Amino acid sequence: MSNDTLALAQALIARQSITPSDSGCQDILAERLEKLGFHIEKMRFGDVDNLWARRGTSSPVLCFAGHTDVVPTGPIEHWDSDPFIPTIRDNRLFGRGAADMKSSLAAFITAIEAFIAHHSDHLGSIAVLITSDEEGIAVDGTVKVVEALKARGEFLDYCIVGEPTCSDKLGDTIKNGRRGSLSGNLTIMGIQGHIAYPHLAKNPIHLVAPAIAELAQTEWDQGNEYFPPTTWHISNIHAGTGATNVIPGTLNLLFNFRFSTTSTVESLKTKVHQILDKYNLDYELQWELSGKPFLTEKAELADAMRAAISSITTIEPQLSTSGGTSDGRFIADICKQVIEFGPCNATIHKLNENVEIDDLEKLSEIYQLTMDNLLISKDSQSNTTATDNFLDRLKKIFFD
């Protein structure tokens, strides 16, 4: 299995699929899935290629989701090897997308192939959702596929997103949720004037300063068992002409909330406007919601994944909601249980991005065992366990 997963990961890395380009990666995946009896549906929106593949028509539906697009490489000469020529050094696979997330895609496919080879009559359905618009602006990718599926009444029971989630070792972290992201573009109106005649002007920097202080000190919520408290931060602020003797006429400020399920979009917006209005500011504020928070509490999917990880790696994984946004925020609209699990994330978006070769086989085995835990009847699992135990006893008799 490891050689097959490695070979597929290498084939995908060799494709220069810089967002939003897919560069034929989805064709490689679709060809293998079609041989397994999957119905293949290509969904193109704008310049973005999306793949929806499904085997079976009944529930439960277990979906594997991910993306073929990668971030730009930066100066290629700064890499130790060409980022689009998959290279093995020191038992690690190097290349753009090795960790984020072409190794996960390869492990999806080989896990599904191995699972179906042993359980062609499995319960429910297996689905695969792939986009080439996750690393970019994410408007024509997974969100559009989810809208199309929802419109025709197609829902999921479980979804595994193959994002790189682990911190130190494969298996140490499962993401069972993500914070939401809400941004604001705030413009404060003042009156431009000569700095020597301040009574003829209104300085928007001075006017908004008390509001900024209050916004920065506000406790938006206290978080909960799974999420830290919501945070508000300024990411950019600009005012003035560059001259030292001109009071600016306007101030522009960009800010962002990373918020938990304890708050809502409306509660955050309302509180911000209350604070700005309190200081009688003349302002304009445009909002942009990048994604709502989602949370999958401890249930069948998380339990199945945790059991699989523990079995393969002997590590007891921790549930986490840390990090930025992912396409899980869109999928949660049609799926109650969404988790993320993939390789270590130490090198993602960096020069010399890489993944451990040994982790490829383990990752595929974890995905396969998770399918075992969710899509095989208890009677079948018991029979499989009994057969495995019998084979183990024969091995001991003849080879020990």
Helix (H) or strand (E) holding 44, with range, is: strand 39-45
The CA-CA-CA angle for residues 258, 144, 340, to 5°, reads 50
Catalytic residue among 100, 113, 133, 134: 134
Q: DSSP letter string over 126-179?
A: EEEEEES-SSS--SSSHHHHHHHHHHTT--EEEEEE----BSSSTTSEEE-EE-
Give the list of residues 6+ apart from residue 6 with CB closer than 8 angstroms, or none.
Answer: 93, 106, 357, 360
Kindly state the tokens that stand for 232: 């508000």
Give the list of residues 6+ apart from residue 139 with CB closer than 8 angstroms, or none.
Answer: 46, 133
Cα within 13 Å of Cα(205), Cβ side: 9
Which residue in 189, 179, 36 sits closest to 108, CA to CA? 36
Kindly state the tokens that stand for 332: 């949660």
Which residue in 393, 381, 390, 386 sits closest to 115, CA to CA? 381
Q: Is the dihedral of CA 203, 206, 211, 213 positive or negative?
A: positive
Burial of 240 (0-12, 13-18, 19+ CB in 10 A): middle
Distance from C-alpha of 381 to C-alpha of 162, rounded to nearest angstrom: 25
Output b/e per residue, 296-316; b: 16+ Cβ within 10 A: beeeebbebbbbbbeebbebe
Catalytic residue among 22, 49, 69, 340: 69
Task: Mark whether 134 is an active-site residue.
Answer: yes
Catalytic residues: 69, 134
